[in-house]
Amino acid sequence: MTMKGKILFAGLMIMTCACTPKLGTSTANRLVKAMTVEEKVRTVVGTFTDVATPPPVAPGVHNRADYPGSGENTAVSRNQVPGAAGDGYAVPRLGIPAIVYADGPAGLRIDPRREGDENTYFCTAFPTGTLLASAWDPAIVEEVGAAIGDEVRRYGVDVLLAPGMNLQRNPLTGRNFEYYSEDPLVAGITAASYIKGVQSQGVGTSIKHFAANNQELYRNGIDEKISNRALRELYLRGFELAIKESAPWTVMSSYNKINGVYASENEWLLNDVLREEWGYEGFVMSDWFGADDPVAQMKAGNDLLMPGTPNQIDELMEAVETGVLPMEVLDRNVKRILEVMAQTPRGKGLSYANDPDLEAHAVISRRIATEGMVLLRNNGALPLKAGRKVALFGNYAYDTQPGGSGSGYVNRAYKVTLDKGLEAAGFTLVPELADAYRSHIAFEKSQMPEEYFWVVPTASEMVVTDAAIRSAAAQTPLAVVTLGRMAGEGGDRTATEGDYFLDKQEWQLLERVRRSFKEVVVVLNTGAPVELTGVDKLSDAILLAWLPGQEAGHAITDILSGAVNPSGKLPVSLAVKYEDIPSSKNFGVSEGEINVVRYQEDLMVGYRYFTTAGVRTLYPFGFGLSYTSFEYADFHAEGADTLSVTVRNSGAVPGREVVQIYVEKPALSQDRPVRELCAFAKTPVLQPGESVEVKIPLRRPSIDPLAQWTDDGWAVASGTYRFHAASSAEDIKLSLTLER
């Protein structure tokens, strides 16, 4: 280039720098102004191009394996992070990179191996949602979030598609393991802590599925008929708390309809409530291939369509040209996306080294798994003395499941099964029994497809002969029976034997083991409850270990051996029988209707119903045993907004207690629950004899737990409030009354 040319070129560069805005240095408004219509349209549509049309809305599909596009409906981000769920659109001339979105709640889900690359890209499988909520400990959940966020950042992902926090309306919901609780306060606080943890690492979250995605059956078309009151007090309340307290960068709208309108096309939900009322400033993305009218989604404020299809681009281009989609709407949505993009690692031009400390995270995963396991029954059989011999029964003892299937699956490097966890801690197993189970499982699995995220094959339960039981019982008086259930995205569980109910073989095993062994410990490896009525009579101890992540076997052993004193509490009620659960009458689809489910129980979900109707539960919401005991004293108010109670460890070993505050409010409408959780706090580890004064604020920065939804909006009734300091929804220790 001649000198003249060089000067001209430099001049042009300066002009370009001055005129062409860039992400990161220019405002979103300037960027939007500089974009072509096509660039804008492509920015609001993900870049998945493998299919021309989304999988059909399939109202009749409910079997996980039959789910349309099973295995195909997850976009593969071919160029950036293999196995991530989707990519955004890049406009290089404006410095806009393609943002990477990846699942999910129990840990990052990306492909662990890459073609032509010897490195591995495993992620840590942390305990699933129900276990995290069972810890009732925001600090611990934040720690998990931070560890997951660290992997997200180091593996080059910008936004994690988590947490999942729909209410556990019914125990059969297939994705309950990803979700937290039947109570919105527990769900909201858990989600807020998780989001704070992940986002502390400089990456984003997508709180999902907004809203009322409480079943998998017909999830792409189901119309959920829910009263405003139940929506506000239950199904939106946890989202409200989490969104206001932790500001997730993105929100994922749900597949279902709410009162006739798809969540992603619902202006009331996404604009009036989320943005106008709650002040949300991030952007909303659809769930993968959710709903069917891109223009309606754009108008409603569903800013990004994921994973994105060519048809959506065509429809939106045409809608802009014909004026059906006003440019202001498109600009508004693009702007929201760009504002978040600017905060992401890619938006900031940061590099990443694929170097998470998986060993350190495994330690966190194990420790936190022990914080959320719930000891349901113990007649003194637990903890087990070190070095004992165990007759270990049940497939799930030798093939323990760390998590569920579907988008919440994590490609971990390994999983520790319970047999290995016990052996590592110095227990010995009855060898013939262990050998038989191990070869049975290995043989059956050799006949099955390999595990991948959408389908996790499990062997059929091994039939144990009477002779095998007798021979094991001759070697040890101690039996541990592990029962498990898998669940996953795309299908609900069923109220049938072998799923929600134990089947004949499981009952027979328990009965025969009970007859032959002096001590029987039952371990449950499941993401959501099974009906346990009768199991208490056949066991000395029951540990609900949930789906505890990749360190499962070590963590369960930590509790069984007493290395860790259990402090988890149920975030759901365990009913005596399935029909006792009010939503059992209207779960999946309401009788005589097509694609409609009516939430007729209204506010009477979980303990709100059981305590109001006086129906006994098997294990109440908030319940969980410890190896020590606690005494409550001096429950009093400090001013109008803080309660204080003193908790003393009155037993022989160190332990933690979850103090729950339930409130009886003066009712502003009919058919209200008698008692609602309004606050909780977990004590630090208390040494035997040690006391702590627990101060519990009643107000939160986001919501007022004393408020009720009325025809005129939120209201706090004046009158007499009765507060209970309790150890579960049914175990009130002390009460006091306050006037408001």
Q: Which helix (H) or strand (E) holds 431?
A: helix 431-446
Structure tokens at 572: 């759901």
DSSP state of 414: -
Distances (CA, A) of 80 to 106, 116, 289, 740: 22, 15, 21, 57
> Nearest distance from residue 57's CB to ligand BGC, in Å?
13
Of 165 and 495, which has the nearer Cβ to ligand BGC? 165
Has 287 been annotated as catalytic? yes
Q: Which of positions 390-429 make contact with ligand BGC (CB under 6 A)?
A: 407
Q: Are 110 and 152 in contact (CB under 8 A)?
A: no
205 is an interface residue for ligand BGC by CB under 6 A: no
> Nearest distance from residue 2's CB to ligand BGC, in Å?
54
208 is an interface residue for ligand BGC by CB under 6 A: yes
> Nearest distance from residue 161's CB to ligand BGC, in Å?
4
* 56 Cα distance to chain centroid: 26
Of 155 and 398, which has the nearer Cβ to ligand BGC? 155
Of 409 and 662, which has the nearer Cβ to ligand BGC? 409
> Nearest distance from residue 300's CB to ligand BGC, in Å?
19
d(CA 513, CA 659): 37
Q: How many CB atoms lie within 10 A of CB 275?
A: 17
Backbone angles phi, psi at 385, to 5 degrees: -70, 140
> Nearest distance from residue 195's CB to ligand BGC, in Å?
15
> Nearest distance from residue 84's CB to ligand BGC, in Å?
9
Of 178 and 730, which has the nearer Cβ to ligand BGC? 178
522 is an interface residue for ligand BGC by CB under 6 A: no
Provide the strand spans (E) within 113-228: 113-114, 117-120, 159-160, 204-210, 223-225
Q: Which of positions 453-492 make contact with ligand BGC (CB under 6 A)?
A: 489
154 is an interface residue for ligand BGC by CB under 6 A: no
d(CA 183, CA 547): 20
> Nearest distance from residue 219's CB to ligand BGC, in Å?
8
Of 162 and 694, which has the nearer Cβ to ligand BGC? 162
87 is an interface residue for ligand BGC by CB under 6 A: no
Q: How many CB atoms lie within 10 A of CB 398?
A: 26
> Nearest distance from residue 453's CB to ligand BGC, in Å?
9
Find the catalytic residue in 183, 287, 399, 602: 287
DSSP, residue by residue, 480-542? EEEEE---BTT----SSBTTTB--HHHHHHHHHHHHH-SEEEEEEE-SS----TTTGGG-SEE
Of 408 and 655, which has the nearer Cβ to ligand BGC? 408
Q: Using CA atoms in the order 549, 553, 556, 559, what is the torsion angle rounded to 10 degrees?
A: -120
Comparing CA positions, the residue from 174, 179, 164 lying closest to residue 130 is 179
Of 106 and 376, which has the nearer Cβ to ligand BGC? 106
> Nearest distance from residue 457's CB to ligand BGC, in Å?
20
> Nearest distance from residue 725's CB to ligand BGC, in Å?
37
d(CA 263, CA 475): 59
d(CA 190, CA 180): 7
The amino acid occupying position 89 is Y
Q: Are 93 and 20 in contact (CB under 8 A)?
A: yes
d(CA 223, CA 238): 21
Of 85 and 509, which has the nearer Cβ to ligand BGC? 85
Structure tokens at 663: 């409130």
500 is an interface residue for ligand BGC by CB under 6 A: no
Largest CA distance in the chain: 98
Q: Using CA atoms in the order 670, 672, 678, 680, what is the torsion angle rounded to 10 degrees?
A: 170
Structure tokens at 324: 């059906």
> Nearest distance from residue 141's CB to ligand BGC, in Å?
19
Q: Are 398 and 464 in contact (CB under 8 A)?
A: no
**Site mask, ligand BGC, residues 254-293, x = CB under 6 A?**
---------------------------------xx-----
239 is an interface residue for ligand BGC by CB under 6 A: no
676 is an interface residue for ligand BGC by CB under 6 A: no
691-697 and 642-649 strand pairing? antiparallel
Q: Are 100 and 62 in contact (CB under 8 A)?
A: no
Of 83 and 347, which has the nearer Cβ to ligand BGC? 83
| Helices H / strands E in the chain, number of each | 20, 29
| Distance, first Cα to last Cα, the chain | 81
Of 135 and 161, which has the nearer Cβ to ligand BGC? 161
Site size toward ligand BGC (CB under 6 A) is 10
Of 124 and 407, which has the nearer Cβ to ligand BGC? 407
Comparing CA positions, the residue from 519, 613, 525 lying closest to residue 575 is 613
Q: Which helix (H) or strand (E) holds 396?
A: helix 395-398
> Nearest distance from residue 108's CB to ligand BGC, in Å?
12
**Site mask, ligand BGC, residues 67-86, x = CB under 6 A?**
-------x----------x-
Structure tokens at 366: 């194990």
Using CB under 6 A, pick the residue from 161, 211, 258, 263 that binds ligand BGC. 161
Of 161 and 459, which has the nearer Cβ to ligand BGC? 161
Structure tokens at 387: 């070095």
299 is an interface residue for ligand BGC by CB under 6 A: no
Q: Which of positions 102-131 make contact with ligand BGC (CB under 6 A)?
A: 103-104
Of 242 and 509, which has the nearer Cβ to ligand BGC? 242
Residue partners of 495: CB distance under 8 A and separation at least 6: 172, 501, 578, 584
> Nearest distance from residue 194's CB to ligand BGC, in Å?
15
Q: What share of the chain is helix, strand, coil (3-state, %, to 5)?
A: 30, 20, 50
User: Is the preceding peptide bond at 187 cis, omega within 30 degrees of 0?
Assistant: no
Task: Tell me, letter by letter, the H, E, C secondary structure of 286-299.
Answer: CCCCCCCCHHHHHH
Q: What sections of 324-387 are H helices per DSSP?
A: 327-341, 358-372
628 three-state secondary structure:
coil
261-262 and 223-225 strand pairing? unpaired
Residues in contact with ligand BGC by CB under 6 A are: 74, 85, 103-104, 161, 208, 287-288, 407, 489
Catalytic (active-site) positions: 287
